[in-house]
Amino acid sequence: MCEIPEWMWRLRSKGEALLLSLHKYFRHWEIFSDVLERFQQKNIYIELEVYYNSL
């Protein structure tokens, strides 16, 4: 299973809707959607900041 590196995202505890900035960074949608589902159950607001192109 492909793990999503921690540096790819910043988590903030908020009781708000989930904000996604997926664009072209996540090709493994099944894996990512599974992760999102787990976070949504905990009411966590996720903002992704991916610096893939600058590496």
Does residue 38 surpass a pLDDT of 60? yes
Tens of pLDDT, residue by residue over 15-24, are: 333 445 554 4
Beta-bridge partner residues of 48:
9
Which whole number is the average pLDDT over 9-18?
A: 44
**Measured between alpha carbons, how far is 9 from 34 in angstroms, rounded to an integer?**
16
Supply the mean pLDDT for the chain. Answer: 55
How much is the pLDDT for 37? 74
pTM above 0.75, yes or no: no
Q: For 1-25, b where at least 16 C-beta lie within 10 A, e where not — what string? A: eeeeeeeeeeeeeeeeeeeeeeeee
The backbone torsions φ and ψ at residue 9, rounded to the nearest 5 degrees and listed phi first, read -145, 160
Does residue 29 sit within a domain?
yes
**Measured between alpha carbons, how far is 18 from 40 in angstroms, rounded to an integer?**
7
Which whole number is the average pLDDT over 12-34?
A: 53
State the residue range of the domain holding 20. 6-54
Q: In total, how many domains does the chain have?
A: 1
Does residue 22 sit within a domain?
yes
Does residue 1 sit within a domain?
no
Does residue 37 sit within a domain?
yes
